[in-house]
Amino acid sequence: MIMCRTAFALLIATTFLSPGFADEVVAPDNNTEGDVESLQVSEQRFVPARFANGLEAAAAEIKFPNFKKDLSLYISCAAKLNTAGEVKDYFCLDYYGGQDAKFRKAAKKFIESTAITPAVVDGKPVPVEFYFRVFFGQQGDQYAVGVFPNWGDDADKYDMEYEAPQRYNQEPLHPACLSDGGMSKVLVGADGKASGDVDLIMSYGVPKHYSVCENWFSQTVLHGQYIPAQHEGKSVPATYVEFGGDISWFTLKTPEGL
């Protein structure tokens, strides 16, 4: 069966605490409002990169890995897109020390083959940093997959389907950061401008590069050019997240079920 957007959002939010969830690959569709919503977005200055056929169709492209236990996890990915919406580079974080390898492989296979419409600013396509996550949930012999155009930082404020900010001035990584990895966060307003403090976590691979790499990350995100977050056809303020350099250091604890 195909579930409505609200029902699916509730399903994911409760992470399968309720029995009998859908046995098909389902996810909310960012195109269900029809021509009216499309017209609203097209008249805006900013149009973010999007999965070409909507979120539900994107989720349907992902084959759920063979797995014997119940589980609930997200795979967080990012891709560099060119002006045609083509993936030029990408990564999926290894949150769980390799124990989620099957699911990261499924997410990577998806990003390598799915169609994405390019981001547009003032009527012209632009290259962007495109961050998204894939949800995998299994309970007994039933499972669900969801694709969301954000990393969840503002899901509590909006919903799980909001579109996160996308940076469209793609600066090449500073050479000092090649041996380091960094994660930065900054607030991007509805006008597409970043403001406030930059939250930064660094791996610090080479001591003499610390300050140079920190400064590059901070300045790049603070002075970046952004397509603001989108929610219900409107630009809204939201957190922008960016990783760069060596990200192999970023590993979190194992989720229940792996």
Closest listed residue to residue 131, CA positions, set 68, 213, 200, 74: 74
- CA–centroid distance for 132 within its chain: 2
Q: Are 130 and 49 in contact (CB under 8 A)?
A: yes
Output 46 or 24, whichever has higher pLDDT: 46
Confidence tier at 85 by pLDDT (50, 70, 90): very high
**CB-based burial label for 74 (10 Å; 0-12, 13-18, 19+):** buried
Taking the C-alpha atoms of residue 153 and residue 156, their distance in angstroms, rounded to an integer, is 8
Taking the C-alpha atoms of residue 159 and residue 165, their distance in angstroms, rounded to an integer, is 14
The ranges assigned to domains in the chain are 5-245
DSSP conformation class of 156: T
What is the predicted pLDDT for the residue at 204?
57
pLDDT reading at 235 higher than 90: yes
Output 99 or 61, whichever has higher pLDDT: 61
What is the predicted pLDDT for the residue at 248?
58
Taking the C-alpha atoms of residue 116 and residue 90, their distance in angstroms, rounded to an integer, is 14
In 103-129, which positions are buried (b, 16+ CB within 10 angstroms) versus exposed (e)? bbebbbebbeebebbbbbbeeebbbbb
Q: Among the ranges 39-48, 142-151, 191-200, 216-225, which has the highest mean pLDDT value?
A: 142-151
Taking the C-alpha atoms of residue 234 and residue 217, their distance in angstroms, rounded to an integer, is 28
Taking the C-alpha atoms of residue 254 and residue 214, their distance in angstroms, rounded to an integer, is 29
What is the predicted pLDDT for the residue at 170?
73
Taking the C-alpha atoms of residue 127 and residue 62, their distance in angstroms, rounded to an integer, is 25
Output 216 or 64, whichever has higher pLDDT: 64
Beta-strand pair 142-148/166-167: unpaired
Cα–Cα distances in angstroms (integers) from residue 189 to residues 138, 169, 186, in the given order: 37, 16, 10
